[in-house]
Chain A
Amino acid sequence: MIKTYFKTLWRMFKKHLTRLLSLIFMVLISVGFISGIGTATDKINYSMNDYYKANNVSDFIIKSKSQYGFSEDEINSVKEIFPGADVDTGMSFDLQTDVEAKRSVRYYFLDFDNWNVNKPEIIEGEKTSGIFEVYAECADNVVKGYNVGDEIDLSDLGVPVKVKVSGIIKSPLTFANDGEPSYNNPEDTEIGFTTTGTENLDCLENILFISKDLMPAVGDIYVAVNDRTVFNSYSSAYKTLIENGKRQIEDKFGESAEIITLYENYSFKSLDTYSENIAALGYVLMVAFLMVTALVTLSTMTRLLEEERSQIACLKTLGYSPSGIISKYLLFALIATGVGGTGAYFVGLGIARLLYYVFNYSFSMPPISSHVAMVFYLITFTLIVLATLAATAVSGIKLTGEKPANLLRPKPPKAGKKVILEKIPFVWNKLSFKYKSTVRNVLRYKSRFIMTVFAVAVSTALVMAGLALLDLCLFHDFGSAAIIGVSLVVVIFAGLLTAVVIYTLTNINISERNREIATLMVLGYHDGEVAGYIYREIYINSAVGIIFGYPLSALLIWVVFKVMGMGLLSGVSWFMWLIAPVIVVMFTLLITLILRRKIVKIKMNDSLKAIE
């Protein structure tokens, strides 16, 4: 009994192999892509946690507004508020060097022998020896940087000495590459995290770290609370910690000190915002991808069950329970989504790594964390599995609920209907006969029409978003090999999504209309004419999808540019708007070309047989 059951199971897999494969690919692409985007955000957070912990980044910088700085008592009172915390003291200020270009240089005076908070990474040169040797922040897109051995005159600061750069360092407080705002901006300046970023702000063109001995007054207190695990629970627990601490410091110093938390740190804040925006983009894409995947899976499973109609009837008359019958198909769906979903983990990991490299363009990112970030992946995977199982169960219950006698009778084909266009004679009468039939078919299978249009529109938008990024790098001097890579990945994945969706839907279309195709062949239609009968529909659906894809593209590009903090929707080269549909059309043509063989191979005898 069980043996026979497994035999039928095995045969089902063999019979529906193409369907199994297209389900696997569908899940692989959508779960892989979405989890990739989500995982990237998680990876960024994990990596930053590790980095902040390793460098013991300060949670609070307390800056004195008095010109004499903090007294020993005041420093001790801060230590009392945060028992066990690492507390460093020092001094920092910015001197404006270029009023017009809004550029400043920041000078830190720190105790190099007891540098426990905001520990830097020496990337070139060596440790300082003696008070006349200093460190300089490494160069990026805005910071000019120094070379090891450069001499700097500090007379402008009222310290008539010359110092020598002994080491180039990277500070954990300034890892954004597109400029760090100086203290010289008005205090109420809102730092914009949109496309403009730091453009209109006074930014640091150099950061120097000088020995405390040249300026012993304590203007800054750097506090790193002892509980470093708090970073793991971004961001609610950390936010609470910051708010409480800030209140306590304010109670102590009142108006005489300024408190700069990590949330006021430009690098932290902008990375946090970007990664949150990417996550938001991930959720947007997740909804779109999940909907497309669920719709396509639903129609695949419904069609599969429909083809097994007579077998289900047979099993029912033999006394198999509905749950026993349905379980077979649930297993099929589970295996398809399971295999696809497992592979998707690795696809997602690859995409996450790529996106991480993109962030390296805007930020000096620490090495990628080896933490296993599976939350996003598991959520997407679970949703897909549940949606697929639910879809299968619903179709299965509907079918097994019917009386065997009804099941043994063939399901009548969907009846034809007049369409609304026929009420407009001057349009309808101008259509050639072939197109009248196509128009009716398009509207006869409404759900498939909506599904194809939706899937193609989403894919077009994704292709367009990828191209817009590519355009930015190639023609607008945002040159970055990483972004070129990512844009290509997006274009390829969007193309693959289109291909799998069109393949699956066309495949269902062909098998559903085997009889009509066979009849046309008997009537003497040539291969090309028969294929045209089915394909005109697919092409019209795709064309409508591409049209809807344009506004969706604009929206997606706008979001992507906002998230990445560069580029303007209006700046995208006009020809890119033409390339996207061409790519989608090419994928569509390729798939229909591949499936043409399936149409041509249909046996005309099938049209003579009883409807099965």
Chain B
Amino acid sequence: MSFLKLSDVSKKFKVGSITVEALKDVSFELEDGEFAVVLGSSGAGKTTLLNLLGGMDSATEGEIILDGKNVTSLDRRGLTDYRRNDIGFVFQFYNLMPNLTALENVEIAVEICKNHLKPEEVLDEVGLSDRLNNFPAQLSGGEQQRVSIARAIAKNPKLLLCDEPTGALDYATGKKILKLLHDVSKQRKRLVIVVTHNSALKDMADKVIYIKSGQIERIETNPEPVPIEEIEW
């Protein structure tokens, strides 16, 4: 049994009298410790997939099973607990609480989950040990995204979901962030899924899932992923 398994997952939206099928029969499997990239152009269904994986929405059909837990059968409360304990989320626009310091932004996430790590240690790991008491407005974009990653890691989640994590960052900073995410996956043996439209990232992933018009186009496995430092775009 795979660590993460999606079987024939579909998501339909009703817009007025029209039904839109945002995802259709999506199936794939990923293992713990893998670094996966979901690639697709805008409108391909990436966000919908991310929402279903992250427990922010429920699938219309099919099954999502993470570490033996059937996510599709969860109710509203169950989904909240799932997000709380099993999912770490890295946002494109960081989404830090503006009135909390870097340290407190990590604390606000971990104080509600069971097996969390020590916030200070995780912030040290992402290179922010001297920025603990700074507010988001006092941090650069890259630093803010590091806080966001620290917040996700510190929850000690089973799955780390990253939505265009470099979308708001410059080239060099973006690369550093991707390196950090890759390291988390390998050093902590965590499943990391990065959703992006930047096809250059495909070379660094263990697995690349191409998504188009709500369907899986193909899935590629890289036997030898290229380190991010060597990738140019």
Contact = CB atoms under 8 A, between A and B. Distances in A.
B100 interface: yes
A416 B136 contact: yes
Given A437-B97, A607-B91, A526 B77 contact: yes
B92 A608 contact: yes
Interface size class of B (residues with CB under 8 A): 35 or more
6 closest pairs, A vs B, by CB? A524-B84, A416-B99, A415-B137, A524-B83, A416-B135, A519-B95
A605 B98 contact: no
Nearest to B111: A433
Given A605-B56, A607-B91, A611-B93, A523 B98 contact: no
A194 interface: no
B100 A607 contact: no
Interface in B127-160: 135-138, 151, 155
Nearest to A445: B99
Contacts of B226: none
Interface in B85-134: 85, 87, 89, 91-93, 95, 97-101, 104, 107-109, 111-113
Nearest to B157: A524
A516 B107 contact: no
Nearest to A442: B99
Given A436-B104, A522-B56, A414 B98 contact: yes
Contact of B80 (A433, A515, A518, A524): A524
A416 B98 contact: yes
Contacts of A444: 99
A160 interface: no
B63 interface: no
Given A437-B97, A521-B83, A523-B83, 9 more contacts: A412-B137, A413-B98, A417-B135, A437-B108, A518-B95, A521-B56, A522-B89, A522-B95, A524-B81
B51 interface: yes
A529 B109 CA distance: 12
A411 to B, nearest CB: 12
Contacts of B40: none
A429 to B, nearest CB: 13
A610 interface: yes
A53 interface: no
B222 interface: no
Contacts of B93: 608, 610-611
Interface of B: 47, 50-51, 54, 56-57, 77, 80-85, 87, 89, 91-93, 95, 97-101, 104, 107-109, 111-113, 135-138, 151, 155, 163
Highest count of chain A CB atoms <10 Å: which of B54, B57, B97: B97
Contact of A523 (B57, B104, B108): B108
Interface in A551-609: 604-605, 607-608
A433 B81 CA distance: 20
Contacts of A328: none
A417 B83 CA distance: 29
Given A416-B135, A416-B137, A605-B56, A441 B99 contact: yes
A13 interface: no
B171 to A, nearest CB: 19
Contact of A516 (B97, B137, B163): B97
Contacts of A516: 97-98
Highest count of chain A CB atoms <10 Å: which of B57, B95, B104, B137: B95
Nearest to A444: B99
B113 A524 contact: yes
A525 interface: yes
A97 B129 CA distance: 95
B51 A605 contact: yes
Contacts of B137: 412, 415-416
17 contacts: A414-B98, A415-B98, A416-B97, A416-B99, A416-B101, A437-B104, A516-B97, A522-B54, A522-B95, A523-B84, A523-B112, A524-B84, A605-B47, A607-B91, A607-B95, A610-B92, A611-B93
Contacts of B99: 414, 416-417, 437, 440-441, 444
Contacts of B98: 413-416, 516
Interface residues of A, number: 31
B100 A437 contact: yes
Contact of B109 (A416, A523, A527, A607): A523
Given A412-B137, A437-B108, A524 B95 contact: no
A504 B93 CA distance: 29
Contacts of A526: 77, 80
Contact of A515 (B82, B95, B104, B163): B95
Nearest to B84: A524
A516 B80 CA distance: 16
A608 B47 contact: yes
Contacts of B51: 604-605
Contacts of A515: 95
A519 to B, nearest CB: 4
Highest count of chain B CB atoms <10 Å: which of A436, A519, A529: A519
A433 B108 CA distance: 8
A100 to B, nearest CB: 72
A139 B40 CA distance: 93
B91 A524 contact: no
Given A522-B54, A608-B92, A610-B93, A416 B47 contact: no
B207 to A, nearest CB: 23
A39 to B, nearest CB: 46
B2 to A, nearest CB: 24
Contact of B104 (A433, A522, A604): A433
Interface in A414-435: 414-417, 433
A441 B108 CA distance: 14
Contacts of B109: 523
Nearest to B83: A524
Contacts of A611: 93
A441 B101 CA distance: 13
A446 to B, nearest CB: 13
B89 A523 contact: yes
Contacts of A416: 97-101, 135-137
A417 B104 CA distance: 13
Nearest to A432: B111
Contact of A415 (B54, B81, B135, B155): B135
A516 B94 CA distance: 11
Nearest to A610: B93
Contacts of A441: 99
